Amino acid sequence: MTIPTRNLGTTGPQVSALGLGCMGMSGMYGEADRPEAIHTVHAALEAGVTLIDTGDFYGMGHNEMLVGEALRTAPAHLRDNAVLSVKFGALRDPDGAWLGFDGRPAAVKTFAAYSLQRLGVDHIDIYRPSRLDPDVPIEETVGVVAELVEKGWVKHIGLSEVGPDTIRRAAATAPISDLQIEYALISRGIEREILPTLRELGIGVTAYGVLSRGLLSNHISADRDFAATDFRAFSPRFQGENFRHNLSLVDSLRKIAEQKGATVAQIAIAWVLAQGSDIVPVIGSRTPERLSEALGALDITLDAADLAAIEEAVPADAAAGERYAPAQMAMLDSER
């Protein structure tokens, strides 16, 4: 298939209209199969997906090494098409616990050096702090990434989960290609202030969580038990009455999907795609089958009537529960 492309802002690269997020391939949603994960990355590249997203803290380096292996074993013409987006700065201990974020210039240079080695590349296409370090001005963090750009180690600067003020300060320091942030039918907070700010400044969006950690995939039932290592075991939206309420939203969406001859996941992805050509959904498929389903969303056109029906079925702020547990919500500059 031929995948359409979109530009990440006015200064960023041209990428496939859907990206592949690799976090789930390193245990964030329970056990993952390494050979199948690599096969999925290869399938994505073969299908025309160019944007590949990872983070140095996913599996404490595991994910970067996995992506590096997938690129190394892919045909050269496909490997060369990959646009690597890498998040840095989150701190973890050997048990996997979260320890905060480090945006100091010396730390950023160190993170980049290790990422380049693990990925086996000579540059990172888009490099972004995973969260705002409250103890380091964003100008310092973005400024040191700009130095890496000047030296050729990084091509573009991105941001992740920050609010309007931080976005403006970062953009005043150096060109910003895109903001990576959660955006989905049931996660629409960016529409109030963040998205208008980005569009004013010519900054694109790479939207993660478009299926809301699987809630909008129609592949999860109310009796699902999540492993202790699964993010969803602690996510407010997957607990008790919240979980049952949120699955009822999926039931409403399913009727629309059936009328369109599509799956619920495809409708959820197509809705994000329809919100603007400056938005690139990043899909966390872990198998070629799920990837194929996600790519099918590119063939779906939602007209005004479809969008109105979806809005009625799943209004803004319809979800029960926050998108992260309280301790993690407190770390999000985008939620302040």
Range of the domain at 118: 13-335
Is 1 a member of any domain? no
Query: How many domains does the structure of the chain reveal?
Result: 1
The gap from C-alpha 301 to its chain's centroid, in whole angstroms, comes to: 23
**Six token digits for residue 258:** 């059936």
| Cα–Cα distance, 255 to 260 (Å, whole number) | 9
List of residues 6+ apart from 78 with CB closer than 8 A: 42, 45, 46
For residue 86, the domain's CATH number is: 3.20.20.100
Is 173 a member of any domain? yes
In angstroms and rounded to an integer, the radius of gyration of the C-alpha atoms of the chain is 19
Q: CA nearest 279: which of 215, 190, 213? A: 190
Q: Which residues carry out catalysis?
A: 58
Is 228 a member of any domain? yes
Is 179 a member of any domain? yes
Is 8 a member of any domain? no
Collapsed DSSP state (helix, strand, coil) of residue 327:
helix
Is 5 a member of any domain? no
Is 7 a member of any domain? no
Is 3 a member of any domain? no
**Six token digits for residue 300:** 């779906």
CB neighbour burial string for 228-256, b if at least 16 within 10 angstroms, e if fewer: eebbbeebbbbbeebbeebbebbeebeeb
Length of the chain: 336
| Cα–Cα distance, 57 to 61 (Å, whole number) | 6
pLDDT tens digit at each of 336 positions of the chain: 689 999 999 999 999 999 999 999 997 666 778 999 999 999 999 999 999 999 999 999 999 999 999 999 999 999 999 999 999 999 999 988 889 999 999 999 999 999 999 999 999 999 999 999 999 999 999 999 999 999 999 999 999 999 999 999 999 999 999 999 999 999 999 999 999 999 999 999 999 999 988 788 877 877 787 877 777 878 888 888 988 888 888 888 999 999 999 999 999 999 999 999 999 999 999 999 999 999 999 999 999 999 999 999 999 988 888 888 788 888 889 998
